[in-house]
Structure 1
Amino acid sequence: MTDKQAAPGDRPGHSGDVEAALPAMAEHARRLEMIIEGTAAGTWDWNIPDGLMRVNERWAQIVGYTREELAPITPETFFRLVHPEDLAQSNALLDEHLQGRSAHYESLCRMRHKQGHWIWVQDRGRVYERDGQGRPIWMAGAHADVTDLQQARQDAADMRQRLQAVVDASDEVAVIATDIDGVITLFNTGAQKLLGYAAEEVIGRVDLGRFHDPDEMRAYLQADAPADGQVPSIFQALTARATQGTWSRQWTFVRKDGERRQVRLSISPLDGAGGRIGYVGMAVDLTPLLEVREQAHVAAKKFAGAFSSAALGMALVSLEGRWLDVNDALCGILGYTRAELLQIDFQTLTHADDLNTDLALLGDLLAGRRDHYHMEKRYLGKAGNLVWGRLSVSLVRSESGEPLHFVSQIQDVTVQRQSGQQLRESEQRTRVTLDAVADMVLTLDLHGGIQYANAAATRALAGEGAESLAGGQLQDVMELTTEYAPRSPLDLAVLLDPESNAVDLHSDLLLSVGAHLLPVDVTRAWLRGEDGQTTGAVWVIRDVTQQRARQREARHLAEVDPLTELSNRRGFEAHLQQAITRVARTGQSASLMYIDLDRFKPVNDTHGHLAGDAVLWAVASLLRHGVRDSDIVARLGGDEFAVILAGCSLKRARRIASDLLESLRGLSIPWDLQRLKVGASIGIARIGGSMSVDDAVAAADAQCYRAKAMGRDNVQVETLVAGDVEVLESQDGSEGGE
């Protein structure tokens, strides 16, 4: 709190001509006031030397107050309401204007509404009077609530970001948008991928021709030219067909590196509220499809060559099992030459344990019970090695349906089988590792079925020596609750929903283990199948007992002022809310003392902040020892202190304040061969059960402000008369009625 002074007196006016002009001035002022009211703006003016401000009622209404609730209004009133993250910038802009470096002061900031939420305020003003040395004397301005505008801006930005993300995510489709004149306004990642240009190379330019094959486009333009022979521009030609709707055509696009791509280009008009605003083109690369068609055509003409050059082992097998023809890949898989394989039947090369299954499936093919079959079987290689093959067999029949021969495809999967064995061994090692960790690990399906539980989870949820939890239901062995509501179990089905963030919303989870509640964190990882669908989850449950204890200690430290070891403002507000609640519940008296040190600023200015810290420490010690152990002493910031006096009437609080003031008068702090002294202005107000924290602080602060206005170094107290609050004078700390 800065030292407060009384408002300046009225300035002397002029006579004569001024008196004659008064009616016109009054009418002008009335019209000006009507204009201001019509704009719903809050106005303010500021006597800079005195530090006092005048605001209209709308200024106070914007933040949910009346002018009486905010009185006295000073720049500190604004500073208390402004969001801490915006205050520094606002102060910098104000200082720049006061120093004459900017023509106006203009700041967009958040202010706390009386109901506790934040609103956006546009604050504008300027200095309109300076003294002979150029120092500012009077400044005026206006506040406007722009919360809806800011929200609309944010919504629009979010929408643009989402739309841009959707467009950029479509990297398989090139999207190019232009304005009505053909200037490129959008060039998505799909267009960059297709054409090889970066967005910044083309956006803002009218250069669609660079994307088209010049010969193809020249022929099209000439064929599409009007009767007068004037050839249209490429943009005109492309959009002329799309004036009434989407128009599509296949084109040859030329990439930045010169490569040509065949595309299907669809052009559509873009219409806004005021009419046509541009066009959007969407191009799909047809080159891979056309290449596949060409390859299919070539493959059809070279079927025999494809058989011999196939990467998979391929064979034509007689109905008796003899190899009729084999390709080079199959010879490589089995280690035989083509001539050698044609002298052997497949039965000879099949592992004995797999032969009966293979023959049975062949019998099903011949009997018409199946069209084809697949199996994994073992072959005996020429080198005596074992070859695992994935076999696919189909039966070729004549037009009359008679069996002719088998077509077999054999893929060498020996390495995969070995990898599978290695994977199983790896899974075994993983299970051993998980059983060794202290965290509980569960694998679950989406219905709560337990598929796996490590040793820690089994011990915690079923007890020492219990059987595996696999096959059971999570709901039968686990109960989760929260520190906020320890007797209300959470619905585990919600926690198993991949779309739910219920776990993420709880930082205070408790796991019921027997008769104990164990603080835990739960981490979920989702399991997905080959189709990308979520099939289950892995839960890791960690004991965070020590971590929660450290967090509680950190919260305690966050409510203590590190210099004085008193409660800071955060801790003070929490204690004050408790005191208000206690008064409302019990009806017991309670008082709030607001203390603002006098003559403290010269200590900092003359002796430095270390001296100021020494004074604050000494004052804090004096206050701590000058009240009861049950009273709460807090440093609110700077040189402001407060004391919450539970079960204390105003009369008794005044006596305590007077004793504290007398002790402060005698306080002398040695510093560099000098003695530092400070005084204090003290304001006292009752704590009512229907008050808010801000109401109680404002009431005591008002008395402290009055104490400063009465000359400092005194105590001012409010009292209750007929249900109203009456302020009593008490410059010397003398008793008054309560």
Structure 2
Amino acid sequence: MVYESYSFGRGSPATTVEGGMKLDFERVFELAPGGMAIFGSDGRPVVFNQAMVGMLECRHPGAYTRSLEDLMHPEEVAECRERMRRLLSGERDSFLFEGRFVRETGRDFRGVAELTLLRVDTGGSGDSHFVLNLRDNTKKLDAERKLRESAERFRALVDRSSEIVKIVGLEGNIRYASPAMERVLGYPPDEITGRNIFDFLHPDDIPAIREKTEAAVARAAADDTVWNVAEYRMRHADGSWRHIESVGTYLPDHPAVRGVVINARDISERRENERRIRESEEKYRRVVETIEEVIFRTDGRGRWSFLNPAWTKLTGYSPEESIGRKAADFLVRAPGSRVSGPDGDDPPSREVEIETRRGTKRIFEVSFAVEPEGEDFHDSFGILHDVTERKRLEERLERLAMHDPLTDLPNRRLFLDYLRNSTPWGERGYTARESTSLLFLDIDRFKQVNDNLGHEAGDSVLVAVAGRLEGCVRAEDIVARLGGEEFVILMAGAGVREARRAAERVLGVFGRPFSLGADEAQVNLGVSIGIACAASREISPEELLRRADTAMYQVKRRGGGGWSTYNLKAPENESG
């Protein structure tokens, strides 16, 4: 560039720089850190400095083909033309503006620019040029944008957080409160700002908080940052008290704080839940200590690890002498098969028998909440229900269902069960040398005892008959009362001869009179006996009973007082 002189348009009269300053201008132009470019009055490029070449990402530095308008974003070209017009007309000396510019690669950026008109005087005539000073503002704008976004995020976090954020001076005055203050405690932030935080604390909590605060301030004098965790009660706007948990960061020397930044949350619901849990635990503890059932837990080796007081009450063993010992050491009968809970949601349960400290045996039903491994009590948890009395009652009821309540002999139901399971119908099966004999007995003249002496006397006779019958049979024979004055004797494995000998023994015991009670009255009775034998499965148990009954009536028809053996051909000829 060779110029005689340079004139920079800064109003009228123009400021003129003579040629002696040309080299200084060129040096400033080339070495300027910001982008500089000179355009003709028509906007065509004249020269770009190196900073402008780099900023515009020019592919061919020295071949300047882009006009002033080409540098502008399409949306800003019209405004660029207007600026050029006004500079040429002398309305303005310069324009300082922020706009969007386009690099040669097509990427746009935001920059801050100053557009000035330069007049060059040559021999009394002057040409005008535009000088553009441009600074790429992208990084600054990005930094400002990120700062704004960060501030907005922080503001949104603070505004929407469920935790209260407060800045409190060391003297206790509230300098800032986030919107959560109103959501949690009912106070609008502007209403509470400026007030002393101790005015809102529960009186019982103030001494501890003051002590914590003073200790934290003392530590903050030596440390950069001090944290302080506290729990206290704050008064809600409705007058109730809320449990608050807070973390205070002490920043007494920070210019924006000069106090404590407190993050606080409402833990009233948590404290209420904890209170309910404590009450529930206390309630269940009382239940465990007073319940009649034994609650137990065992470890992986089957040793008691917990026993409630019911264990001592029912067994006599104290917890001290039981905990740590194997549960199996106390069992007379180990856990058997399940007795309940195979279906549905009921827990599995089994029965065990435990010998108490007093030497008695008690039966417990074990309900496992956690099923043990194998048959032992390894790693289990459950309840021992004392079912001793229930089992005894069940046994009594079962005996009543199967025995005659007056004589305690098997009744018809139990007798038929014995009969169906005896030879030759039993599980062992039939052998040629085994048979079953049945004696059917009916007491002669028993009705006269009831009619003349009363049913009490009749019951006394029946009890005596039962005793005499049991005394004259083999140990393996079954004596049963079918009802009224009818009795039967089941002789498994006995043939007809042995049955007849038994019938003779029965007749012998009926030869003695029967006593009728305390008045020592006596009565003589007879008995009619029917005998039937089965040596194969060709007849049923019921048929055997019917045959013995038939044989017994043969004796009755003859006047009673004897026995008769059933025979398909001539039963009446086989009697005694």
TM-score range, shorter chain: 0.3 to 0.5
Higher relative contact order (CA 8 A, sep 6+): 2
